[in-house]
Amino acid sequence: EVQLVQSGAEAKKPGESLTISCNSSGHSFKSNWIAWVRQTPGKGLEWMGMIFPDDSDTRYSPSFQGQVTISADMSINTAYLQWSSLKASDTAMYFCARLIGSSGWFDYWGQGTLVTVSS
Protein backbone atom coordinates (compact mmCIF):
# COMPACT_ATOMS: atom_id res chain seq x y z
CA GLU A 1 0.00 0.00 0.00
CA VAL A 2 1.35 3.40 -0.98
CA GLN A 3 1.70 5.72 2.00
CA LEU A 4 3.00 9.25 2.33
CA VAL A 5 3.59 10.24 5.95
CA GLN A 6 4.41 13.84 6.76
CA SER A 7 6.12 15.39 9.73
CA GLY A 8 4.09 17.04 12.48
CA ALA A 9 2.67 20.51 12.91
CA GLU A 10 5.10 23.40 13.36
CA ALA A 11 4.78 26.75 15.11
CA LYS A 12 7.48 29.24 14.11
CA LYS A 13 8.32 32.92 14.29
CA PRO A 14 8.83 35.16 11.25
CA GLY A 15 12.41 34.96 9.98
CA GLU A 16 13.00 31.44 11.27
CA SER A 17 13.92 28.53 9.02
CA LEU A 18 11.94 25.33 8.67
CA THR A 19 12.10 21.99 6.91
CA ILE A 20 9.12 19.64 6.74
CA SER A 21 9.27 16.09 5.44
CA CYS A 22 7.27 13.49 3.54
CA ASN A 23 8.28 9.83 3.94
CA SER A 24 7.10 7.43 1.23
CA SER A 25 6.54 3.69 1.36
CA GLY A 26 4.86 1.02 -0.73
CA HIS A 27 6.14 2.23 -4.10
CA SER A 28 9.30 3.06 -6.01
CA PHE A 29 10.14 6.41 -4.44
CA LYS A 30 12.87 7.23 -6.93
CA SER A 31 10.62 6.67 -9.96
CA ASN A 32 7.71 8.93 -9.08
CA TRP A 33 7.36 12.69 -8.97
CA ILE A 34 6.58 13.97 -5.48
CA ALA A 35 4.89 17.36 -5.34
CA TRP A 36 4.16 19.86 -2.58
CA VAL A 37 0.78 21.59 -2.46
CA ARG A 38 -0.23 24.49 -0.23
CA GLN A 39 -3.75 24.94 1.08
CA THR A 40 -5.05 28.15 2.56
CA PRO A 41 -8.64 29.16 3.26
CA GLY A 42 -8.45 32.05 0.85
CA LYS A 43 -6.59 30.51 -2.09
CA GLY A 44 -7.52 26.84 -2.01
CA LEU A 45 -4.97 24.32 -3.26
CA GLU A 46 -1.81 25.63 -4.96
CA TRP A 47 0.95 23.61 -6.57
CA MET A 48 4.33 24.73 -5.21
CA GLY A 49 6.72 22.45 -7.02
CA MET A 50 7.86 18.87 -7.44
CA ILE A 51 10.88 16.62 -7.51
CA PHE A 52 11.85 13.42 -9.33
CA PRO A 53 14.11 11.76 -6.76
CA ASP A 54 16.02 9.54 -9.18
CA ASP A 55 17.80 12.46 -10.82
CA SER A 56 16.71 15.28 -8.48
CA ASP A 57 14.98 17.08 -11.35
CA THR A 58 13.09 19.82 -9.50
CA ARG A 59 10.45 22.17 -10.87
CA TYR A 60 8.81 25.12 -9.14
CA SER A 61 5.69 27.14 -9.67
CA PRO A 62 6.68 30.72 -10.52
CA SER A 63 4.72 31.79 -7.43
CA PHE A 64 7.05 29.81 -5.18
CA GLN A 65 10.37 29.90 -7.07
CA GLY A 66 12.99 31.36 -4.77
CA GLN A 67 10.67 31.20 -1.77
CA VAL A 68 11.12 27.51 -0.92
CA THR A 69 13.49 24.66 -1.68
CA ILE A 70 12.37 21.13 -2.51
CA SER A 71 14.78 18.23 -2.06
CA ALA A 72 14.77 14.47 -1.60
CA ASP A 73 16.87 11.77 0.06
CA MET A 74 16.50 8.48 -1.82
CA SER A 75 18.29 6.53 0.92
CA ILE A 76 15.34 7.11 3.27
CA ASN A 77 12.55 7.63 0.70
CA THR A 78 11.86 11.14 1.97
CA ALA A 79 11.08 14.43 0.27
CA TYR A 80 11.53 17.80 1.94
CA LEU A 81 10.14 21.31 1.73
CA GLN A 82 12.36 23.99 3.18
CA TRP A 83 12.07 27.69 4.04
CA SER A 84 15.09 29.80 4.95
CA SER A 85 13.12 32.74 6.32
CA LEU A 86 9.45 32.24 7.13
CA LYS A 87 6.82 34.93 6.77
CA ALA A 88 3.41 35.16 8.40
CA SER A 89 1.92 34.60 4.96
CA ASP A 90 3.48 31.11 4.91
CA THR A 91 0.91 30.03 7.48
CA ALA A 92 -0.95 27.21 5.76
CA MET A 93 -1.49 23.47 5.51
CA TYR A 94 1.09 21.77 3.31
CA PHE A 95 0.54 18.45 1.56
CA CYS A 96 2.90 16.20 -0.32
CA ALA A 97 1.39 14.12 -3.09
CA ARG A 98 2.53 11.52 -5.62
CA LEU A 99 2.11 12.59 -9.23
CA ILE A 100 1.38 9.99 -11.89
CA GLY A 101 3.63 10.70 -14.85
CA SER A 102 5.19 14.11 -15.33
CA SER A 103 1.90 15.82 -16.20
CA GLY A 104 -0.75 13.56 -14.79
CA TRP A 105 -2.74 13.49 -11.61
CA PHE A 106 -2.11 13.13 -7.88
CA ASP A 107 -3.11 9.67 -6.70
CA TYR A 108 -1.79 9.55 -3.12
CA TRP A 109 -1.51 12.37 -0.61
CA GLY A 110 0.22 12.81 2.72
CA GLN A 111 -1.90 13.69 5.73
CA GLY A 112 -0.74 17.32 5.72
CA THR A 113 1.54 19.45 7.89
CA LEU A 114 0.14 22.61 9.45
CA VAL A 115 2.69 25.42 9.56
CA THR A 116 1.84 28.44 11.71
CA VAL A 117 4.08 31.50 11.55
CA SER A 118 3.37 34.14 14.15
CA SER A 119 5.34 36.52 16.32
Partner 1 sequence: QSMLTQPPSASGTPGQSVTLSCSGGTSNIGSNSVSWFQQVPGTAPKLLIYRNNQRPSGVPDRFSGSKSGTSASLAISGLQSEDEADYHCAAWDGSLSGPVFGGGTKLTVL
Q: What is the contact surface with partner 1 in residues (CB under 8 A)?
A: 35, 37, 43-47, 49-50, 59, 61-62, 95, 97, 99-100, 103-112
- Residue number with CB closer to partner 1 (62 or 119): 62
Taking the least distance from each CB to partner 1, the nearer of 13 and 53 is: 53
CB of residue 16 to partner 1, shortest distance in Å = 26
Shortest distance (Å) from residue 82 CB to partner 1:
19
Residue 41 Cβ, how far from partner 1 at the closest point, in Å?
A: 10
Please, which residue, 92 or 99, has the CB nearer to partner 1?
Answer: 99
Spell out a b/e string for 67-89, using b for 16 or more CB atoms within 10 Å of the CB, else e: bbebebeeeebbbbbebeebeee
Q: How many CB atoms are closer than 10 A to CB 117?
A: 20
Nearer to partner 1, 17 or 96 (CB): 96
CA distances, 101 to each of 4, 16, 34, 49, 105 (Å)? 17, 35, 10, 14, 8
35, exposed or middle or buried, with CB in 10 Å at 0-12, 13-18, 19+?
A: buried
Closest separation in Å from C-beta 96 to partner 1: 10
